Amino acid sequence: MEKLKNLFKAKADQLGAEIKDILKEHGSKKIGEVQLAQAYQGMRGITGMVYETSLLDAQEGIRFRGYSIPELQEKLPKAPGGSEPLPEGIFYLMLTGELPTEADVKELSADWAKRSAMPAHVTRTIDALPVETHPMTQFVVGVMALQTDSLFAKKYAEGVNKKDYWSYAYEDSMNLIARLPAVAAHVYRRKYKGGQTIAPAAGLDWAGNFAHMLGFETDKFRELMRLYLTIHADHEGGNVSAHTTHLVGSALSDPYLAFAAGMNGLAGPLHGLANQEVIKWIFEMQKALGTEKPTSEQIAEYVKKTLAEGKVVPGYGHAVLRKTDPRFSAQMEFAKKHMADDALCNTVWNIFETVPPILQSLGKIKNPWPNVDAHSGALLVNAGMREYDYYTVLFGVSRALGVLAGLIWDRGLSFPIERPKSVTTANVKAWLKGEDSIWE
Ligand code: HAX
Protein backbone atom coordinates (compact mmCIF):
# COMPACT_ATOMS: atom_id res chain seq x y z
CA MET A 1 0.00 0.00 0.00
CA GLU A 2 2.42 2.65 -1.28
CA LYS A 3 -0.14 5.46 -0.93
CA LEU A 4 -0.30 5.15 2.87
CA LYS A 5 3.48 4.84 3.15
CA ASN A 6 4.04 7.94 1.02
CA LEU A 7 1.38 9.87 2.93
CA PHE A 8 3.11 9.00 6.20
CA LYS A 9 6.50 10.08 4.84
CA ALA A 10 5.13 13.44 3.71
CA LYS A 11 3.56 14.02 7.15
CA ALA A 12 6.75 12.95 8.97
CA ASP A 13 8.95 15.24 6.86
CA GLN A 14 6.63 18.16 7.52
CA LEU A 15 6.35 17.57 11.28
CA GLY A 16 10.08 16.82 11.51
CA ALA A 17 10.87 20.24 10.00
CA GLU A 18 8.39 21.95 12.35
CA ILE A 19 9.93 20.21 15.39
CA LYS A 20 13.38 21.35 14.31
CA ASP A 21 12.18 24.96 14.26
CA ILE A 22 10.34 24.59 17.58
CA LEU A 23 13.46 23.20 19.26
CA LYS A 24 15.70 25.85 17.72
CA GLU A 25 13.60 28.64 19.13
CA HIS A 26 12.11 27.11 22.29
CA GLY A 27 14.28 24.06 23.09
CA SER A 28 15.43 25.43 26.46
CA LYS A 29 11.90 26.28 27.73
CA LYS A 30 10.78 24.26 30.77
CA ILE A 31 7.61 22.15 30.41
CA GLY A 32 7.33 21.19 34.07
CA GLU A 33 9.03 20.64 37.38
CA VAL A 34 9.84 17.25 38.82
CA GLN A 35 9.05 16.68 42.47
CA LEU A 36 10.95 14.23 44.65
CA ALA A 37 7.76 12.17 45.17
CA GLN A 38 7.35 11.79 41.39
CA ALA A 39 10.81 10.28 41.06
CA TYR A 40 9.94 7.70 43.72
CA GLN A 41 6.33 7.10 42.70
CA GLY A 42 6.24 5.94 39.12
CA MET A 43 7.04 9.27 37.42
CA ARG A 44 3.33 10.15 37.55
CA GLY A 45 2.57 13.46 35.83
CA ILE A 46 6.09 14.06 34.49
CA THR A 47 5.92 15.13 30.86
CA GLY A 48 8.95 13.39 29.41
CA MET A 49 8.17 12.08 25.96
CA VAL A 50 6.40 12.96 22.71
CA TYR A 51 3.92 10.47 21.28
CA GLU A 52 1.82 11.53 18.32
CA THR A 53 -1.00 9.02 17.95
CA SER A 54 -3.28 9.76 20.93
CA LEU A 55 -3.60 11.96 24.00
CA LEU A 56 -5.20 11.20 27.36
CA ASP A 57 -7.07 13.83 29.35
CA ALA A 58 -7.70 12.95 33.00
CA GLN A 59 -11.32 14.19 32.88
CA GLU A 60 -12.29 13.55 29.28
CA GLY A 61 -10.51 10.29 28.52
CA ILE A 62 -8.66 9.29 25.40
CA ARG A 63 -8.64 11.18 22.10
CA PHE A 64 -7.11 9.68 19.01
CA ARG A 65 -5.72 12.51 16.88
CA GLY A 66 -8.27 14.76 18.50
CA TYR A 67 -11.27 12.42 18.12
CA SER A 68 -13.11 10.94 21.12
CA ILE A 69 -14.39 7.36 21.04
CA PRO A 70 -18.04 8.35 20.30
CA GLU A 71 -16.79 10.56 17.46
CA LEU A 72 -14.76 7.70 16.03
CA GLN A 73 -17.75 5.37 16.30
CA GLU A 74 -19.58 7.83 14.11
CA LYS A 75 -16.84 8.83 11.68
CA LEU A 76 -14.71 5.74 10.99
CA PRO A 77 -15.73 3.39 8.16
CA LYS A 78 -17.71 0.25 9.11
CA ALA A 79 -18.02 -3.22 7.65
CA PRO A 80 -20.98 -3.70 5.26
CA GLY A 81 -24.07 -4.04 7.43
CA GLY A 82 -22.07 -3.33 10.60
CA SER A 83 -22.22 -0.40 12.99
CA GLU A 84 -18.86 -0.61 14.77
CA PRO A 85 -15.69 1.07 13.46
CA LEU A 86 -13.13 -1.00 11.60
CA PRO A 87 -9.72 -1.10 13.39
CA GLU A 88 -8.02 -0.46 10.04
CA GLY A 89 -9.53 3.03 10.25
CA ILE A 90 -8.05 3.90 13.62
CA PHE A 91 -4.62 2.71 12.48
CA TYR A 92 -4.84 4.91 9.39
CA LEU A 93 -5.93 7.85 11.53
CA MET A 94 -3.17 7.34 14.11
CA LEU A 95 -0.50 7.00 11.43
CA THR A 96 -1.52 9.96 9.26
CA GLY A 97 -3.68 12.21 11.43
CA GLU A 98 -6.36 12.01 8.70
CA LEU A 99 -9.71 10.26 8.77
CA PRO A 100 -9.68 7.46 6.17
CA THR A 101 -12.29 7.01 3.47
CA GLU A 102 -14.10 3.69 2.92
CA ALA A 103 -11.69 3.04 0.04
CA ASP A 104 -8.60 3.72 2.22
CA VAL A 105 -9.80 1.21 4.78
CA LYS A 106 -10.63 -1.39 2.14
CA GLU A 107 -7.19 -0.99 0.65
CA LEU A 108 -5.56 -1.39 4.08
CA SER A 109 -7.60 -4.57 4.78
CA ALA A 110 -6.44 -5.99 1.46
CA ASP A 111 -2.82 -4.98 2.11
CA TRP A 112 -2.77 -6.66 5.54
CA ALA A 113 -4.42 -9.78 4.07
CA LYS A 114 -1.65 -9.92 1.46
CA ARG A 115 1.05 -9.65 4.13
CA SER A 116 -0.55 -12.14 6.54
CA ALA A 117 1.14 -15.46 5.64
CA MET A 118 3.24 -16.74 8.54
CA PRO A 119 6.52 -18.64 8.18
CA ALA A 120 5.94 -22.29 9.24
CA HIS A 121 8.44 -22.16 12.08
CA VAL A 122 6.27 -19.68 14.01
CA THR A 123 3.56 -22.18 14.91
CA ARG A 124 6.19 -24.88 15.49
CA THR A 125 7.93 -22.58 17.98
CA ILE A 126 4.67 -21.91 19.84
CA ASP A 127 3.84 -25.63 19.77
CA ALA A 128 7.15 -26.43 21.50
CA LEU A 129 5.76 -24.81 24.69
CA PRO A 130 3.66 -26.83 27.15
CA VAL A 131 0.03 -26.36 26.11
CA GLU A 132 -0.90 -25.00 29.55
CA THR A 133 1.58 -22.08 29.17
CA HIS A 134 -0.18 -18.74 29.72
CA PRO A 135 -1.57 -17.45 26.39
CA MET A 136 0.36 -14.18 26.71
CA THR A 137 3.64 -16.12 26.93
CA GLN A 138 2.68 -18.19 23.87
CA PHE A 139 1.70 -15.00 22.03
CA VAL A 140 4.99 -13.23 22.80
CA VAL A 141 6.98 -16.33 21.83
CA GLY A 142 5.08 -16.30 18.50
CA VAL A 143 5.96 -12.61 17.99
CA MET A 144 9.62 -13.36 18.74
CA ALA A 145 9.55 -16.24 16.25
CA LEU A 146 8.21 -13.83 13.59
CA GLN A 147 11.26 -11.63 14.18
CA THR A 148 13.31 -13.80 11.82
CA ASP A 149 11.48 -11.87 9.06
CA SER A 150 12.53 -8.42 10.27
CA LEU A 151 13.50 -6.24 7.35
CA PHE A 152 14.70 -3.54 9.75
CA ALA A 153 17.20 -5.93 11.40
CA LYS A 154 18.34 -7.23 7.98
CA LYS A 155 18.83 -3.78 6.51
CA TYR A 156 20.57 -2.49 9.63
CA ALA A 157 23.00 -5.41 9.44
CA GLU A 158 23.64 -4.54 5.78
CA GLY A 159 24.46 -0.97 6.81
CA VAL A 160 21.52 1.11 5.57
CA ASN A 161 21.42 4.95 5.77
CA LYS A 162 19.65 6.09 8.95
CA LYS A 163 17.35 8.35 6.92
CA ASP A 164 15.65 5.15 5.72
CA TYR A 165 15.03 3.51 9.12
CA TRP A 166 11.42 4.66 9.10
CA SER A 167 10.73 2.76 5.87
CA TYR A 168 11.84 -0.58 7.33
CA ALA A 169 10.08 0.14 10.62
CA TYR A 170 6.93 0.73 8.54
CA GLU A 171 7.29 -2.51 6.58
CA ASP A 172 7.98 -4.57 9.72
CA SER A 173 5.08 -2.98 11.57
CA MET A 174 2.65 -3.59 8.71
CA ASN A 175 3.77 -7.22 8.37
CA LEU A 176 3.56 -7.77 12.11
CA ILE A 177 0.05 -6.28 12.41
CA ALA A 178 -1.04 -8.39 9.42
CA ARG A 179 0.20 -11.60 11.04
CA LEU A 180 -0.81 -11.05 14.67
CA PRO A 181 -4.39 -12.36 14.30
CA ALA A 182 -3.08 -15.68 12.96
CA VAL A 183 -0.50 -15.96 15.79
CA ALA A 184 -3.13 -15.10 18.39
CA ALA A 185 -5.73 -17.44 16.88
CA HIS A 186 -3.18 -20.25 16.80
CA VAL A 187 -2.60 -19.80 20.54
CA TYR A 188 -6.36 -19.89 21.20
CA ARG A 189 -7.11 -22.93 19.06
CA ARG A 190 -4.07 -24.76 20.42
CA LYS A 191 -4.84 -24.12 24.06
CA TYR A 192 -8.62 -24.50 24.10
CA LYS A 193 -9.74 -26.28 20.93
CA GLY A 194 -7.40 -29.26 20.72
CA GLY A 195 -5.11 -27.61 18.17
CA GLN A 196 -7.68 -27.51 15.36
CA THR A 197 -6.69 -24.30 13.65
CA ILE A 198 -8.83 -22.44 11.10
CA ALA A 199 -7.42 -21.00 7.88
CA PRO A 200 -8.06 -17.30 7.16
CA ALA A 201 -11.02 -16.47 4.90
CA ALA A 202 -10.63 -14.31 1.83
CA GLY A 203 -12.44 -10.98 1.65
CA LEU A 204 -12.93 -10.38 5.36
CA ASP A 205 -11.69 -7.32 7.25
CA TRP A 206 -8.83 -7.69 9.76
CA ALA A 207 -11.07 -8.06 12.85
CA GLY A 208 -13.67 -10.17 11.04
CA ASN A 209 -10.99 -12.56 9.89
CA PHE A 210 -9.54 -12.73 13.39
CA ALA A 211 -12.99 -13.68 14.75
CA HIS A 212 -13.23 -16.33 12.00
CA MET A 213 -9.80 -17.83 12.81
CA LEU A 214 -10.69 -17.91 16.51
CA GLY A 215 -13.76 -19.96 15.53
CA PHE A 216 -16.56 -17.43 16.09
CA GLU A 217 -18.85 -16.82 13.12
CA THR A 218 -21.68 -14.74 14.61
CA ASP A 219 -22.22 -11.12 13.60
CA LYS A 220 -22.25 -10.24 17.29
CA PHE A 221 -18.74 -11.60 17.87
CA ARG A 222 -17.39 -9.95 14.71
CA GLU A 223 -18.88 -6.60 15.65
CA LEU A 224 -17.55 -7.01 19.18
CA MET A 225 -14.06 -7.67 17.81
CA ARG A 226 -14.24 -4.56 15.61
CA LEU A 227 -15.18 -2.38 18.60
CA TYR A 228 -12.78 -4.14 20.96
CA LEU A 229 -9.76 -3.92 18.64
CA THR A 230 -10.51 -0.24 17.97
CA ILE A 231 -10.94 1.00 21.53
CA HIS A 232 -7.96 -0.88 23.04
CA ALA A 233 -5.56 0.35 20.35
CA ASP A 234 -3.84 3.23 22.15
CA HIS A 235 -3.82 5.24 25.40
CA GLU A 236 -1.13 7.87 24.79
CA GLY A 237 2.57 7.13 25.29
CA GLY A 238 3.24 6.71 29.00
CA ASN A 239 1.34 3.48 29.75
CA VAL A 240 3.55 0.44 30.29
CA SER A 241 2.99 -1.28 26.92
CA ALA A 242 3.35 1.88 24.80
CA HIS A 243 6.25 3.28 26.77
CA THR A 244 8.10 -0.05 26.73
CA THR A 245 7.68 -0.43 22.97
CA HIS A 246 8.93 3.14 22.49
CA LEU A 247 11.86 2.67 24.91
CA VAL A 248 13.06 -0.63 23.46
CA GLY A 249 12.58 0.68 19.92
CA SER A 250 14.75 3.69 20.80
CA ALA A 251 17.75 1.35 20.95
CA LEU A 252 16.92 0.56 17.29
CA SER A 253 15.69 -2.87 18.34
CA ASP A 254 13.41 -3.79 15.43
CA PRO A 255 9.59 -3.53 15.69
CA TYR A 256 9.22 -7.24 16.54
CA LEU A 257 11.63 -6.97 19.49
CA ALA A 258 10.13 -3.69 20.65
CA PHE A 259 6.52 -4.90 20.41
CA ALA A 260 7.31 -8.20 22.20
CA ALA A 261 8.83 -6.15 25.05
CA GLY A 262 5.70 -4.00 25.22
CA MET A 263 3.53 -7.12 25.34
CA ASN A 264 5.48 -8.44 28.32
CA GLY A 265 4.42 -5.25 30.07
CA LEU A 266 0.81 -5.63 28.96
CA ALA A 267 0.87 -9.09 30.59
CA GLY A 268 1.15 -7.50 34.07
CA PRO A 269 -1.99 -7.60 36.29
CA LEU A 270 -1.92 -3.85 36.96
CA HIS A 271 -2.03 -3.26 33.18
CA GLY A 272 -3.57 -5.48 30.46
CA LEU A 273 -3.87 -8.66 32.50
CA ALA A 274 -6.48 -6.82 34.59
CA ASN A 275 -9.06 -7.86 31.96
CA GLN A 276 -8.68 -11.53 32.92
CA GLU A 277 -8.48 -10.64 36.62
CA VAL A 278 -11.85 -8.84 36.48
CA ILE A 279 -13.77 -11.81 35.16
CA LYS A 280 -11.88 -14.25 37.39
CA TRP A 281 -12.78 -12.06 40.38
CA ILE A 282 -16.47 -11.95 39.36
CA PHE A 283 -16.61 -15.73 38.82
CA GLU A 284 -14.99 -16.27 42.24
CA MET A 285 -17.48 -13.88 43.82
CA GLN A 286 -20.42 -15.71 42.21
CA LYS A 287 -19.06 -19.02 43.48
CA ALA A 288 -18.36 -17.73 46.98
CA LEU A 289 -21.88 -16.22 47.22
CA GLY A 290 -23.59 -19.13 45.51
CA THR A 291 -25.46 -16.90 43.04
CA GLU A 292 -25.10 -15.67 39.46
CA LYS A 293 -26.78 -12.41 40.36
CA PRO A 294 -25.34 -11.01 43.59
CA THR A 295 -27.20 -8.08 45.16
CA SER A 296 -25.54 -4.69 45.73
CA GLU A 297 -25.20 -5.52 49.43
CA GLN A 298 -23.49 -8.85 48.64
CA ILE A 299 -21.13 -7.15 46.16
CA ALA A 300 -20.25 -4.48 48.72
CA GLU A 301 -19.38 -7.14 51.31
CA TYR A 302 -17.25 -9.03 48.78
CA VAL A 303 -15.40 -5.83 47.77
CA LYS A 304 -14.64 -5.11 51.42
CA LYS A 305 -13.34 -8.68 51.84
CA THR A 306 -11.09 -8.25 48.75
CA LEU A 307 -9.67 -5.01 50.16
CA ALA A 308 -9.21 -6.51 53.63
CA GLU A 309 -7.14 -9.31 52.08
CA GLY A 310 -4.75 -6.66 50.71
CA LYS A 311 -5.84 -7.10 47.07
CA VAL A 312 -6.92 -4.55 44.49
CA VAL A 313 -10.41 -4.50 42.98
CA PRO A 314 -9.53 -5.27 39.35
CA GLY A 315 -10.93 -2.99 36.66
CA TYR A 316 -11.09 0.04 38.95
CA GLY A 317 -8.64 2.94 39.24
CA HIS A 318 -6.22 4.51 36.82
CA ALA A 319 -2.86 6.23 36.90
CA VAL A 320 -4.08 9.19 34.81
CA LEU A 321 -7.88 9.07 34.33
CA ARG A 322 -10.07 10.68 36.98
CA LYS A 323 -13.51 9.65 35.74
CA THR A 324 -15.29 6.67 34.18
CA ASP A 325 -13.20 5.46 31.25
CA PRO A 326 -15.01 6.25 27.96
CA ARG A 327 -13.84 2.82 26.77
CA PHE A 328 -15.91 1.32 29.63
CA SER A 329 -18.90 3.43 28.54
CA ALA A 330 -18.55 2.35 24.89
CA GLN A 331 -18.61 -1.29 25.96
CA MET A 332 -21.58 -0.72 28.25
CA GLU A 333 -23.43 0.83 25.33
CA PHE A 334 -22.59 -2.20 23.15
CA ALA A 335 -23.90 -4.51 25.91
CA LYS A 336 -27.13 -2.52 26.29
CA LYS A 337 -27.68 -2.84 22.54
CA HIS A 338 -26.79 -6.51 22.08
CA MET A 339 -27.21 -8.25 25.46
CA ALA A 340 -29.25 -6.05 27.79
CA ASP A 341 -30.61 -9.01 29.81
CA ASP A 342 -27.29 -10.79 30.26
CA ALA A 343 -26.78 -11.70 33.96
CA LEU A 344 -23.02 -11.12 33.89
CA CYS A 345 -23.33 -7.70 32.21
CA ASN A 346 -25.97 -6.74 34.75
CA THR A 347 -23.57 -7.76 37.51
CA VAL A 348 -20.85 -5.57 35.93
CA TRP A 349 -23.29 -2.65 36.01
CA ASN A 350 -24.21 -3.45 39.59
CA ILE A 351 -20.50 -3.45 40.50
CA PHE A 352 -20.19 -0.09 38.71
CA GLU A 353 -22.86 1.32 41.07
CA THR A 354 -21.40 -0.28 44.18
CA VAL A 355 -17.59 -0.08 43.98
CA PRO A 356 -16.78 3.64 43.44
CA PRO A 357 -18.26 4.89 46.76
CA ILE A 358 -16.43 2.14 48.66
CA LEU A 359 -13.09 2.95 47.01
CA GLN A 360 -13.74 6.67 47.51
CA SER A 361 -14.36 6.11 51.22
CA LEU A 362 -10.82 4.72 51.64
CA GLY A 363 -9.51 8.22 50.97
CA LYS A 364 -6.30 7.16 49.22
CA ILE A 365 -7.48 5.99 45.77
CA LYS A 366 -7.19 8.81 43.25
CA ASN A 367 -9.67 7.37 40.78
CA PRO A 368 -12.50 5.14 42.06
CA TRP A 369 -14.07 4.75 38.59
CA PRO A 370 -13.99 1.75 36.21
CA ASN A 371 -11.32 1.45 33.53
CA VAL A 372 -11.47 -0.35 30.16
CA ASP A 373 -10.93 -3.78 31.73
CA ALA A 374 -13.99 -3.67 33.99
CA HIS A 375 -16.38 -4.50 31.15
CA SER A 376 -14.63 -6.37 28.35
CA GLY A 377 -14.76 -9.87 29.88
CA ALA A 378 -18.54 -9.85 30.31
CA LEU A 379 -19.00 -9.00 26.62
CA LEU A 380 -16.70 -11.82 25.57
CA VAL A 381 -18.37 -14.39 27.83
CA ASN A 382 -21.76 -13.44 26.39
CA ALA A 383 -20.44 -13.68 22.83
CA GLY A 384 -19.13 -17.19 23.55
CA MET A 385 -15.51 -16.82 24.67
CA ARG A 386 -15.30 -17.92 28.30
CA GLU A 387 -11.55 -18.68 28.48
CA TYR A 388 -10.63 -15.56 30.40
CA ASP A 389 -6.90 -16.18 30.66
CA TYR A 390 -6.84 -15.53 26.89
CA TYR A 391 -8.35 -12.05 27.09
CA THR A 392 -5.07 -10.12 27.37
CA VAL A 393 -4.00 -11.56 24.00
CA LEU A 394 -6.99 -9.81 22.39
CA PHE A 395 -5.88 -6.60 24.09
CA GLY A 396 -2.35 -7.18 22.72
CA VAL A 397 -3.52 -7.62 19.12
CA SER A 398 -5.35 -4.31 19.41
CA ARG A 399 -2.54 -2.47 21.21
CA ALA A 400 -0.22 -3.32 18.29
CA LEU A 401 -2.09 -0.74 16.20
CA GLY A 402 -1.21 2.14 18.50
CA VAL A 403 2.27 1.24 19.68
CA LEU A 404 3.48 0.28 16.20
CA ALA A 405 2.03 3.44 14.64
CA GLY A 406 3.89 5.23 17.46
CA LEU A 407 7.09 3.36 16.66
CA ILE A 408 6.89 4.27 12.95
CA TRP A 409 6.58 7.90 14.06
CA ASP A 410 9.60 7.50 16.37
CA ARG A 411 11.73 6.44 13.40
CA GLY A 412 10.03 8.94 11.09
CA LEU A 413 11.06 11.76 13.43
CA SER A 414 14.50 10.20 14.12
CA PHE A 415 13.99 10.19 17.88
CA PRO A 416 17.20 9.28 19.74
CA ILE A 417 17.85 6.50 22.23
CA GLU A 418 15.91 7.15 25.46
CA ARG A 419 18.00 7.63 28.57
CA PRO A 420 16.45 9.45 31.55
CA LYS A 421 18.62 10.20 34.57
CA SER A 422 18.28 8.23 37.80
CA VAL A 423 19.66 8.96 41.26
CA THR A 424 20.21 6.91 44.40
CA THR A 425 18.61 7.57 47.78
CA ALA A 426 22.11 8.39 49.06
CA ASN A 427 22.21 11.18 46.42
CA VAL A 428 18.79 12.36 47.54
CA LYS A 429 19.80 12.48 51.23
CA ALA A 430 22.99 14.37 50.41
CA TRP A 431 21.04 16.75 48.16
CA LEU A 432 18.49 17.41 50.94
CA LYS A 433 21.37 18.34 53.27
CA GLY A 434 22.80 20.66 50.63
CA GLU A 435 25.88 18.45 50.19
CA ASP A 436 25.18 17.25 46.65
CA SER A 437 23.87 19.26 43.76
CA ILE A 438 23.29 16.36 41.41
CA TRP A 439 19.77 17.57 40.48
CA GLU A 440 20.66 21.19 39.90
N1 HAX B 1 -8.44 -1.47 44.40
C2 HAX B 1 -7.79 -1.34 45.57
N3 HAX B 1 -6.82 -0.42 45.80
C4 HAX B 1 -6.53 0.41 44.79
C5 HAX B 1 -7.18 0.36 43.55
C6 HAX B 1 -8.16 -0.64 43.36
N7 HAX B 1 -8.78 -0.79 42.21
N8 HAX B 1 -6.66 1.32 42.76
C9 HAX B 1 -5.72 1.96 43.47
N10 HAX B 1 -5.62 1.40 44.70
C11 HAX B 1 -4.68 1.74 45.77
C12 HAX B 1 -3.25 1.58 45.28
O13 HAX B 1 -2.85 0.23 45.33
C14 HAX B 1 -2.50 2.50 46.23
O15 HAX B 1 -2.41 1.82 47.46
P16 HAX B 1 -1.11 1.97 48.42
O17 HAX B 1 -0.99 3.45 48.68
O18 HAX B 1 -1.47 1.16 49.63
O19 HAX B 1 0.05 1.44 47.64
C20 HAX B 1 -3.48 3.66 46.42
O21 HAX B 1 -4.79 3.13 46.10
C22 HAX B 1 -3.22 4.85 45.54
O23 HAX B 1 -3.18 4.42 44.18
P24 HAX B 1 -3.51 5.42 42.98
O25 HAX B 1 -2.51 6.52 43.02
O26 HAX B 1 -4.95 5.77 43.01
O27 HAX B 1 -3.30 4.47 41.71
P28 HAX B 1 -1.96 4.16 40.93
O29 HAX B 1 -1.78 5.23 39.91
O30 HAX B 1 -0.83 3.87 41.84
O31 HAX B 1 -2.35 2.80 40.21
C32 HAX B 1 -3.69 1.28 38.99
C33 HAX B 1 -3.22 2.74 39.12
C34 HAX B 1 -4.49 1.15 37.72
C35 HAX B 1 -2.45 0.38 38.90
C36 HAX B 1 -4.54 0.92 40.22
O37 HAX B 1 -5.69 1.74 40.24
C38 HAX B 1 -4.94 -0.54 40.27
O39 HAX B 1 -4.16 -1.35 40.79
N40 HAX B 1 -6.17 -0.90 39.77
C41 HAX B 1 -6.60 -2.30 39.70
C42 HAX B 1 -5.92 -3.03 38.55
C43 HAX B 1 -6.45 -2.55 37.21
O44 HAX B 1 -7.63 -2.45 36.99
N45 HAX B 1 -5.52 -2.27 36.29
C46 HAX B 1 -5.87 -1.85 34.91
C47 HAX B 1 -5.66 -0.37 34.68
C48 HAX B 1 -5.98 0.06 33.26
C49 HAX B 1 -5.03 -0.54 32.31
O50 HAX B 1 -3.84 -0.26 32.25
N51 HAX B 1 -5.51 -1.44 31.53
O52 HAX B 1 -4.70 -2.15 30.77
Of all residues in the chain, the percent with pLDDT exceeding 90 is: 98
Residues classed as catalytic: 271, 318, 373
pLDDT of 247 over the 70 cut: yes
Q: Determine if ligand 1 sits within 6 Å of the CB of residue 319.
A: yes
pLDDT tens for 386-419 read 999 999 999 999 999 999 999 999 999 999 999 9
Q: Express each pLDDT in 342-371 by its tens digit.
A: 999 999 999 999 999 999 999 999 999 999
Mean pLDDT of 429-434: 92
Residues 156 and 147: their CA atoms lie apart, in Å, by: 14
Mean pLDDT within 42-54 = 96
* Amino acid at site 266: L
Paired with 85 in beta bridges are: 78
Spell out the SS3 assignment of 48-94: CCCCCCEEEECCCEEEECCECHHHHHHHCCECCCCCCECHHHHHHHH
Q: Which helix (H) or strand (E) holds 218?
A: none
Question: Does the pLDDT at position 212 exceed 80?
Answer: yes
Average pLDDT over residues 199-217: 97
C-beta 242 within 6 A of ligand 1: no
State the average pLDDT over residues 14-21.
97
User: What gap in Å lies between CA 299 and CA 301, rounded to an integer?
Assistant: 5
CA atoms within 13 A on the CB side of 132: 0
Q: 315 in ligand 1 pocket by Cβ < 6 Å?
A: yes
The pLDDT tens digits for 83-133 are 999 999 999 999 999 999 999 999 999 999 999 999 999 999 999 999 999
For ligand 1, say whether the CB of 191 is within 6 Å of any of its atoms. no
Q: State in Å: Cα 315 to ligand 1 middle.
A: 9
pLDDT at 436: 77
| Whether the CB of 232 sits within 6 Å of ligand 1 | no
pLDDT at 439 over 80: no
| Structure confidence by residue, pLDDT tens digits, 277-292 | 999 999 999 999 999 9
Averaged pLDDT, 300-321: 97
Counting from 1 in the atom list of ligand 1, the atom nearest the Cα of 317 is 37
CA of 198 to the centre of ligand 1 (A): 39
pLDDT at 437: 73
pLDDT exceeds 70 at position 440: no
Whole-model pTM: value is 0.97
Q: What is the CATH number of domain 274-387?
A: 1.10.230.10
Q: Atom 3 in ligand 1: which residue has the minimum CA distance?
A: 312
For ligand 1, the distance from its centroid to the CA atom of residue 318, given in whole angstroms, is: 6
Average pLDDT value for the chain: 97
Say how many Å lie between the CA of residue 87 and the centre of ligand 1.
29
Would you state the pLDDT for residue 332? 98
d(CA 274, CA 371): 10
